[in-house]
A and B are shown apart, each in its own frame.
Chain A
Amino acid sequence: MDRVRVGFLPLVDAALPILARELGYAEAEGIDLELVKDMSWAAVCDRLIYRQTDAAHMVAPLALAATLGLGRPAVPLAVPFVLGLNGNAITLHPAIAAQVTEIGALQDVTITGQRLAALIRSQTRKLRFGVVHRYSSHNYMLRYWLSGCGIDPHHDVEIVTVAPPYAAEALADGEVDGICVGEPWNSVAVDRGVGVIVAVTAQIWQRGVEKVLTMRRDRMEEMGEPAHRLIRALYRAGEAFVDPERQDDIAALLAGADYLDGSAALIGRAMSNHILLAKDHAPVSVPDFMVQHREASNFPWVSQAAWLYAQMCRAGHVAPSDHDYELAKAVFRPDVYRAAMRNTGAALPGASAKLEGGITDPVGVGTVQGRLILGSDSFFDGRAFDPDNLAAAL
């Protein structure tokens, strides 16, 4: 047995490493998987960089930021596996939500955004939004949506960092007017009656990359074959996660004190893509709310890293540079995923990058193994992102 330590934050999308351990997939691959729970991405990142862990559940842009040396000394990281797509939501204070949406139903995000823009123009006080991390998909998705609706994320609003466990409290106390966080924290705010979900990030980008498995590049190389076995165990855990038969058991397991230490009912709702948008309303079905496994969603597309880098530039977190762009793209490692999943029956795309947002109807794509049909990956504004043309996105 090879011991592998994996850091994580207590969020629904930490499910795959947890299940790989608890359901025995890691053991079956000869991996003694040890999980290390933390309460901040900073701690997850430090433990990974300073070798207390071998791999980590991480917000994807943070893997790029650490590689580029933003806020920390630069350490090249690698992402050989995507832990899931989307699963986040934008939750507003009920009084503000009432002015921009029909409470209890999911609206077209373009219309919600236009109403929000009108509200922002009509008042002098700046609205303040909380996101879970400076370098998070939450931050970049929120900014993408706001700017696509004519709201300047730099000047028209304020965006601050709020740790997920405090997000509901921050809404309740008026510290922030809205939050963009993962589950179960939106649902916690809704349950407490302090927030109303007005949008899910899948409406902004139908196939947005969310959490990733991150390793130090040198550690991954030195580890070799066991890293491949870890990837296979995570893949099997993904199959279990999307099996409706096992959903209740899995929700209960994730809710345990060692893991999310929360409500199995709330976790089960997110897993089944049923979201309660507002207190005292019925949950609504939100297809694609979180995509953890199907459509080869665990495959790390280089174009996903490219999109994130483009958003980091737009947010002013990095100055656009061809050199950094190449470094950022090289963090995502489809080659390692392919090597790990060869001869397993998993679908392996032939390409390593795609036109993000280019698919409007399900389409078959070329593979080197298995059959693969990708669903719509549209952005809400109908634009597409071409990784070969960074300038067009800036």
Chain B
Amino acid sequence: MRVAIVDESPARAAVIREGLEASGLRDINLFTERRGLVAALNDLQPDVILMNLANPSRDMLEESFMVSRALARPIAMFVDQSDEDAIAQAVDAGVSAYVVDGLKTERIKAVLELAIKRFNAFARLQSELDEARTALADRKSVDAAKALLMKKRGMDEPAAYAALRKAAMDSGRRMADVADALLTAEKLMGGL
């Protein structure tokens, strides 16, 4: 089975390829550039095209499939219509698939399921990374606000931390938000 992975994120494309290769698929081709995509896919004649649902090139590609002179035209999200669950899962995961007609449903389902898993895994990685970044940024604000309180109010570190925490609890806001507000106020007041 010849698979094409079209994704503007090379990192995600690589994650998906890895997953498919681990399942024994060998003929996997990555496309991360929009330019020349239609011609490249025409040359390759893949059996399955996996693409992120939100890829802006989809309308252009679907048009090219419709006018394709190749015998087997890829069809969007076909799998087996009776299996709406599988398709809904794909849409949830942000996967779209185009499959040439006549390919065995079981084989396609296996590939699609793998793709969904890898898409979800990538999304999880991404959100963990975002969380880690936010956590780091939060800690920086809290540290700076603590230092400010220690300097301006002569508090020691535990007291400064406790003051921030109390303000956060009293106002129902995150500590990092309180810290940001304090730092902004300090900047506006010009250190007064």
Q: Taking beta carbons and an 8 Å cutoff, which residues of A are in contact with B? A: 38-43, 46-47, 50-52, 70-73, 132-134, 160-163, 165-166
Contacts and interface: CB of A to CB of B under 8 A. Distances in A.
Given A71-B66, A71-B75, A72-B77, A38 B60 contact: no
Interface string B48-87: 0000011111111011111000000001111001001001
Given A160-B63, A161-B60, A72 B76 contact: yes
Interface of B: 34, 53-60, 62-66, 75-78, 81, 84, 87-88, 91-92, 96
Given A40-B57, A41-B59, A71 B87 contact: no
A32 to B, nearest CB: 20
Given A43-B54, A134-B63, 14 more contacts: A38-B54, A39-B56, A40-B57, A40-B58, A41-B59, A50-B77, A50-B87, A52-B92, A72-B75, A73-B81, A134-B62, A161-B59, A161-B62, A163-B56
Nearest to A133: B59
A46 B92 CA distance: 10
A147 B59 CA distance: 24
B70 to A, nearest CB: 15
B23 to A, nearest CB: 25
A72 B97 CA distance: 11
A73 B78 contact: yes
Contacts of B88: 50-52
A161 B55 contact: no
Contact of A43 (B53, B63, B66): B53
Contacts of B81: 73
A50 to B, nearest CB: 4
A70 to B, nearest CB: 8
A203 to B, nearest CB: 25
Given A46-B53, A50-B88, A50-B91, A162 B62 contact: no
Contacts of B91: 46-47, 50, 52
A72 B91 CA distance: 14
A394 to B, nearest CB: 20
Given A51-B88, A72-B77, A73-B81, A165 B56 contact: yes
A313 B96 CA distance: 28
B188 to A, nearest CB: 25
